[in-house]
Amino acid sequence: MKKPQAPSDIAREAFMRLVDRHLAPTPTNYQSCYNEIAGLPNYPPFPEAPLRELAGDLVARNQTQEEALDALSAAIGQRSWQGVREALALFAGSGAPAESVLPAELALGLARFIDCMLPALGDEDGRVIALAGELGAMLRQPSPAAAAVQGGIARLAQQVGQAAEEQIEIKGALLKLLHLIVENIGELSIDDSWLRGQIDGLLASIAPPLDLRHLDEMERRLRDVIEKQARAKARTVEAQAEMRQMLGEFVGSLAAMSASSAAFEGQLISTAERVEQVEHIDELRPLLSEMVSAAHAMADDAASSRNQLKSLQDKVAATEAELIQLHKELDNASALARHDPLTDALNRKGLDEVLVREIASMRRKATALSLSLLDIDNFKKLNDSFGHEAGDGALVHLANVVRAHLRPSDTLARYGGEEFVILMPDTSVAQGVEVMTRLQRELTKAIYLAGSERILITFSAGVAQLASDEESGTDALRRADQAMYLAKRAGKNRVMSA
C-alpha cells in the first residue's frame, strides 16, 4: 500500500508542476495542481465577493424573503454552497412576482390605434364601443398593468372579430340586394339605352373587390350622364311646348285662311250675281276692282300661311337637330360606363357585350374569330419598385400602344388587374399569334418613362380561336388563359396558342 505523501511534499511538487506546465503561480492554478497530486476533487474557489454583491441587489418584499436574505448572508460567510442554494430557493419561492407595466409610449400608441380603429367598425355594436372605451381609458392611466391590458385586448379582439364578420356578411348581403335591384330596373327599362348604360356602370362598380378610385370615377361619369339626361329631358319638354305653340298658331292661321277662303268664295258668288244684273259695261269696272282686291288679299293670306309653314318646318328641323345632338352626347356618356376609367379600354361588362356580338357575327358569316389574353410581366415588381402610380401609368402606356397598332375592327378590353383581352375578328389563331408577336415588338420600341426611369414593359399572351360550333366566349377565354400561363412558365415575353 502506497504511503500517503506529506502536505509539504505535495506543496513542493505542486510548485514544480506549475513550472513544468508554464502556468502562472495563481492560487487557482496552485490549488488545481495540489488537488491533482493529493487525489482530491478540484472544486472551484468560492466566489464570496460576487455573491455578496448579488445578495445586496436583492430586495425583500415580505418577511419570508427577509429571512431568506439573512440565511443567504450566513451561508456566504460559511462558504456553504448548499446554504446558498437553499437561501436563494426560499427567496424565489416566497415572493409574489412584481406586476409588469407597459411603457408609457407603447400604451399611448395602443390607445391611439384603438381610437383610429373604432370609426371603421361603425357605431352599431355597443359592446365593441364600451370595451374599446374601457381599454383606451386603461391605456391612458399612468403605468397601466400589462396583465390587465392584455386581458382587455383579448376581450376587445374577440368582440371586434365577431363584429367584423357580421359587417362582412352585411356588406355582402347589401351588395347582393343592390345588384338585384339594379338588374331588375334594367329588365324593366329594356328600351332606354341611356338608363341601360348607367345600370351597366353600376353593376360594374359594385362588383367585388370594391375600389374607391373606381367608385369615384364611376360616380363622376354617372353624374355626367344624369346631368346630360336632365338637359335632354328639359330640352325635349321645352321643344314639345314650342311645337304645340307653333302648331296652335299654324292651325289658327289655317282656320283664318279657311274663313278667308269662305269669304272670298261668298264674294265671288255675290259678284257673279251682280255681273248678271249689269246692263252697261261701265258698271263692271268697280266689280272687277273688288274682285282684284279680294284676290290680292287671298294671295297675301296664302303667302303668309306658306311663310308660317316654312318657319315652322325650319324650327322643327332645328329642334330635331338639337335633340339629336343631345341624345348623341348622352349615348356617348352612357357608353363610358362600359369602359375602364383608367385605360379607357372596355371593362368586363363592355367586353361581354362585344364578345356576344362578335360571336354572333362570326357564326352568321362563317368566319374566324380569335381572342388573346395578355398579362404584363413582372407587374408586381414594377409596382413595388416604383409605386402604384407608375404601375397605373404602365397600364395606360400598354393600352395606348396596343390601340395604336390594332385594326379598327379589333377590340381592346381590360380583363382585370394587369390583364387585357383583344378580340380579333376574321383572324385565325396563327394570324392572332402573329398580331400579338408584332405588338410585343412595338411595345419594346416604345420605352415607358416613370419619371426619369426608363422601364421596358413586356407581356406574355395566349391566343385562342373560337370553335365554329357552340363554344362560348368564356370557354375560349379559359383556353387563352391556359396558353398565357404556359407562356409565363416558358420564360415570359412569349405568345402561345391554345
374 pLDDT band, cuts 50/70/90, is very high
How confident is the model at residue 78, as a pLDDT? 82
Residues 455-487 have pLDDT tens digits of 999 999 999 999 877 789 999 999 999 999 999
How confident is the model at residue 147, as a pLDDT? 79
Q: Which residue has the higher pLDDT, 246 or 387?
A: 387
Provide the 8-state DSSP code for 463.
E
Residues found in the chain: 498
Residue in the structure block whose three cell numbers are 332606354: 192
What percentage of the chain reaches a pLDDT higher than 90? Answer: 22
Residue 328 has pLDDT above 90, yes or no: no
Specify the range with the lowest mean pLDDT, choosing from 50-59, 297-306, 353-362: 297-306
At position 445, the amino acid (one-letter code) is K
Tell me if the pTM is above 0.85: no
The secondary structure element, H or E, covering residue 413 is strand 411-416
Residue 332 has pLDDT above 60, yes or no: no
Residues 87-102 have pLDDT tens digits of 888 887 765 555 577 7
Residue 395 has pLDDT above 90, yes or no: yes
Q: Which residue has the higher pLDDT, 124 or 366?
A: 366
Helices (H) and strands (E) in the chain, counts: 16, 7
The secondary structure element, H or E, covering residue 167 is helix 146-188
Report, as an integer, the average pLDDT of 345-371. Answer: 90
185 pLDDT band, cuts 50/70/90, is low
The secondary structure element, H or E, covering residue 424 is strand 419-425
Q: Which residue has the higher pLDDT, 297 or 91?
A: 91
Residue in the structure block whose three cell numbers are 269669304: 263
Residue 427 has pLDDT above 90, yes or no: yes
Q: What value does the mean pLDDT of the chain take?
A: 78
Count of beta carbons in the 10 Å neighbourhood of residue 267: 17
448 pLDDT band, cuts 50/70/90, is very high
Widest distance between CA atoms in the chain:
198
